[in-house]
Amino acid sequence: MKQIYFFSEGNKDMRQLLGGKGANLAEMTRLGLPVPAGFTITTEACHEYQRNNNKLSNSLIQEIDNALIKLSKNTNKKFNDTVNPLLISVRSGAAISMPGMMDTILNIGLNDKSVVALAKITNNERFAYDSYRRLLAMFGNVVYGISEEIFDQVLTDTKKNNNYKSDIELTTEDLKSIVERFKEIYTKEAHKDFPQNPEDQILAAVNSVFESWDNNRARVYRKQNNIPETLGTAVNVQTMVFGNAGEDCGTGVAFTRNPATGEKNLFGEYLLNAQGEDVVSGVRTPQSIDTLQSSMPKIYGQFADIAQKLEDHYQDMQDLEFTIEHGELFLLQARNGKRTPEAAVKIAVDLVNEGLIDKKTAISRIDPESISAMLHSDFDKEELKNHRELTTGLPASPGAASGQVYFTADTAKEAHDNKHQKVILVRQDTSPEDIEGMVVSEAIVTSRGGMTSHAAVVARGMGSTGVVGAHELQVDYKNKVAKINDTVINPGDWISVDGTKGKIYSGQIPTSEAVIKGDLSILLNWAKEISDMGVYTNADTPADFQKALDFDADGIGLTRTEHMFFKSERLLQMRRLILAKDATGRKDPLEKLLAMQQNDFYEIYKLSAGKSVTVRLLDPPLHEFLPHDAKEIKLVADELGENVEDLENRIDSLKELNPMLGHRGDRLAVTFPDIYQMQVRAIINAVLRLKDEGIEIKPHIMIPLTDSKSEMQWVRNLVENQIKELSSDVEYQVGTMMEMPRACVTANQIAEVSDFFSFGTNDLTQLTFGYSRDDVGSFMPEYIKQGILPNDPFQSVDIEGVGELMKMAVDRGRQTKSQLPIGVCGEVGGDPKSIQFFDKIGITYVSCSPYRIPVARIAAAQATI
């Protein structure tokens, strides 16, 4: 098995084998771009390593040796050479990019001898020892697990003792003594010396990169981003180029478009006389790439050309790493850049308009779930006036959020998990170790670092709010306190963060709603054109429906009329109705409820403007309407003109042990037919009233909880007789809610008496699993943790079980009526993964809460593509 590919042998389509970084280094080499020579050890070698009990096999070691010999021939440099020593980096790189999650070591090949040679050949002793101290720190951390802080402390102390402001002021003598101190740290912390032999260094480094696939932060990241554990990582071995060899050297990162807004211009940062991670780690505040245009115009021009070339080539926004060595430009990495949801949408639309991609490609690049992040939040303008602006930093990731401040990932996570607090992580800077705390935070704030710092990149990636480089903020980890000028912030204090403007405010500020406009609305229209599935809304009130219409819902898939009954005044009438002794007693409350329902329906129909509206007749168990306490019972008794004791007896007789499996849905229709009759009257009266106003409505009436054809037939007769009593020329449909396993099995029969189906996946899931959906909290988390369930089936449809029943119902229903419209109106109707499945089994439309509509719209289009 070939376990090593030189960059010149690979290409961009080999990312499974070479990892993303390796495949793109190969592709750039193929395109003739200036990439330092090197080779990639494959992900298959990583699997082999894992099978071999986490040891490098002899055959791999042999292949690495051969590759190094070839590399030294190509570069005219040699390991251990006293004239021109070969130095390399060992870089991790999985098939799916996991920025900063795994390890990389630079300057491998340096030792006590070659450092002298490097100083001589470059005529730069300071540079040579700067590189050496970096190798010692990285190698010590990655290979021997010595804490970075121990090495950092030595640097900090040296700077402090000499009154230096930054690393560049360190002298050659300082660096030499730092190198000695670092070696002592090895002895003290790891009881081992730094390996002087470059071959030993590289093998240990490769071993550690393979091992780093399994470190905690990488595992958390993979879980968070649904990256399979089985992928493994490749390892890249690459000749070093030096950004830290003087003032005509530097290193930087840049995006071909702005990753926060999507605007088309080079966006990035660089540092002169610096190496590798200096830019992203926030140790020094980098300069904007724009200034490179004036300081190194030739390099800037060359870089801008390459950036454009790569974007055209990959047809997507690129995230690039580069290094300048004595006025010569090198590319070290290219990948599709992470971006905010806003930027993702703008870039997708722009690329279509620029003719680089088509609409389907544009839509397929959008993560539907991320759209929901675009739909909330800006601070309420009026409320904002009552809050003090504390300071401003860089607007790293847009959005607005309030939360309680914590200074460490652990305490933030603790407050979130155990105290259910909304938390904001406030730090000097963040590193990959903080990932678990960042995941749970509403917002991330740092005092140091730039727009491409770790904190900024991660916040954008997660779609959470972020402000970085807020210089007035001082975080004192030791005393667990932060200060912004005169304001003292303790753990647990509330602050508010505006990631769009980069501002930080004191206290908690309510956020206001977003509207869909601009590029998002263009993209959603394309999605609508492309998809063959409708997106309806579940809306119980005119206000909900209006919101859904603003989000361009195709209609209402479910109006739950019971929500209208639980308002206090109606509840009283409902109680009078179900507790009345006889039909005469029911008359007055029925009339009152009729008037109110009629108005509800009128308003909703009026808004609908031709879009279809499906009203579901009353479903909740009678039990839920019963008065509980003495005061409520007395009130109802008075209204009914009865004594309390009689009423209490009747209440007892209506109480149920399993209300959700009891007296509800069409069972209620059979025992209390006048309730459904009243609702149908309300619907038809509303329709007739609108007809007078010149608006034509074709009501869709949905019957919940149906088990069988005979039951559906019975309720259908009830409904139709009532309609006919009121009018002979209303066009209507009466359909079934599919939520009983028995109904799915007998769907061919039920279809004979139904004009449409709509899956109520909540009840269907509840009854298929036998889980009471109101009680799952006591065991579901454990089931997911133990891997018994892959996820909560109430949030994402259980394809194997519930999904199979749905498929059966669709197939059998359409055996009877080939054109039967079939919707889904449960919680999972707005879940992208479920939507994918629904499209496959031929669902006509999904229906979800107003805020999920844009998410569902994109998912529906992706399912169609």
> What does the binding site for ligand ADP look like in residue numbers (CB under 6 A)?
36, 89, 91, 99-100, 104, 106, 238-241, 276-277, 321, 323, 332-333
Judge whether 313 counts as a catalytic residue.
no
The option from ligand ADP, Mg ion, none interacting with 238 (CB < 5 to 8 A, set by class) reads ligand ADP
CB of 330 to ligand ADP, least distance (A): 7
621 counts as binding Mg ion under rule CB under 5 A: no
Pick the closer one to ligand ADP by CB: 335 or 709.
Answer: 335
Q: How far is CA 564 from CA 567, 568, 572, 594, in A?
A: 6, 10, 12, 12
Annotate 108-160 with DSSP letters as a single string: ET--TTHHHHHHHHHT-HHHHHHHHHHHHHHHHHHHH---HHHHHHHHHHHHH
Pick the closer one to ligand ADP by CB: 212 or 768.
Answer: 212
**Degrees (nearest 5) of the Cα angle 732, 733, 738?**
160
Pick the closer one to ligand ADP by CB: 234 or 668.
Answer: 234
**Degrees (nearest 5) of the Cα angle 475, 446, 337?**
160
Residue 254's DSSP bridge partners are 268, 320
- What CA–CA distance (Å, rounded) separates 622 from 631? 20
The option from Mg ion, ligand ADP, none interacting with 276 (CB < 5 to 8 A, set by class) reads ligand ADP
CB of 97 to Mg ion, least distance (A): 9
CB of 250 to ligand ADP, least distance (A): 11
Neighbours of 318 (CB within 10 A): 23
Pick the closer one to ligand ADP by CB: 101 or 615.
Answer: 101
The option from Mg ion, ligand ADP, none interacting with 106 (CB < 5 to 8 A, set by class) reads ligand ADP
CB of 766 to Mg ion, least distance (A): 8
167 counts as binding Mg ion under rule CB under 5 A: no
The option from Mg ion, ligand ADP, none interacting with 763 (CB < 5 to 8 A, set by class) reads Mg ion
- What CA–CA distance (Å, rounded) separates 396 from 448? 12
Pattern 387-426, binding to Mg ion, x per CB under 5 A? ----------------------------------------
Which residue of the set 454, 663, 700, 744 is catalytic? 454
Pick the closer one to Mg ion by CB: 450 or 760.
Answer: 760
DSSP letter for 188, please.
I
The option from ligand ADP, Mg ion, none interacting with 241 (CB < 5 to 8 A, set by class) reads ligand ADP
* Total H helices, total E strands in the chain: 36, 31
Return the closest-CA partner of residue 346 out of 523, 525, 464. 523
- What CA–CA distance (Å, rounded) separates 19 from 394? 32
Q: How far is CA 399 from CA 467, 724, 795, in A?
A: 10, 54, 25
- 301-330 positions binding Mg ion, by CB under 5 A: none
763 counts as binding Mg ion under rule CB under 5 A: yes
CB of 318 to ligand ADP, least distance (A): 14
- Name the CA dihedral angle for 554, 557, 561, 562, rounded to a multiple of 10 degrees: -130
- 713-752 positions binding Mg ion, by CB under 5 A: 739
CB of 827 to Mg ion, least distance (A): 11
Which residue of the set 46, 744, 825, 848 is catalytic? 825
Residue 612's DSSP bridge partners are 555
Residue 336's DSSP bridge partners are 318
- What CA–CA distance (Å, rounded) separates 323 from 442? 35
CB of 252 to ligand ADP, least distance (A): 9
DSSP letter for 236, please.
E
Pick the closer one to Mg ion by CB: 33 or 356.
Answer: 33
Judge whether 825 counts as a catalytic residue.
yes
760 counts as binding Mg ion under rule CB under 5 A: yes
CB of 665 to Mg ion, least distance (A): 7
**Degrees (nearest 5) of the Cα angle 333, 337, 340?**
155
Pick the closer one to Mg ion by CB: 18 or 443.
Answer: 18
CB of 515 to Mg ion, least distance (A): 32
HSE-up of residue 159 (Cα within 13 Å, Cβ side): 13
Q: Are 283 and 292 in contact (CB under 8 A)?
A: no
| Amino acid letter, residue 154 | V
827 counts as binding Mg ion under rule CB under 5 A: no
Pick the closer one to ligand ADP by CB: 335 or 716.
Answer: 335
Which residue do the tokens 């007892």 mark? 652
The option from Mg ion, ligand ADP, none interacting with 307 (CB < 5 to 8 A, set by class) reads none
- 105-124 positions binding Mg ion, by CB under 5 A: none
The option from ligand ADP, Mg ion, none interacting with 760 (CB < 5 to 8 A, set by class) reads Mg ion
- What CA–CA distance (Å, rounded) separates 18 from 11? 9
Pick the closer one to ligand ADP by CB: 104 or 261.
Answer: 104
Q: Is the dihedral of CA 174, 175, 176, 180 positive or negative?
A: positive
CB of 860 to Mg ion, least distance (A): 23
- Give the SS3 label for residue 615: strand
The option from Mg ion, ligand ADP, none interacting with 332 (CB < 5 to 8 A, set by class) reads ligand ADP
- Give the SS3 label for residue 64: helix
The option from Mg ion, ligand ADP, none interacting with 100 (CB < 5 to 8 A, set by class) reads ligand ADP
The option from Mg ion, ligand ADP, none interacting with 287 (CB < 5 to 8 A, set by class) reads none
List strand residue ranges (DSSP E) for 687-768, in order: 700-703, 733-738, 757-759
Pick the closer one to ligand ADP by CB: 99 or 801.
Answer: 99
Give the tokens for residue 720. Answer: 């139709």
Residue among 333, 465, 500, 736 that touches Mg ion (CB under 5 A): 333
Q: Are 758 and 702 in contact (CB under 8 A)?
A: yes
Q: Are 512 and 381 in contact (CB under 8 A)?
A: yes
441 counts as binding Mg ion under rule CB under 5 A: no
Which residues would be at the binding site for Mg ion (CB under 5 A)?
333, 739, 760, 763
Question: Catalytic positions, please?
Answer: 454, 825
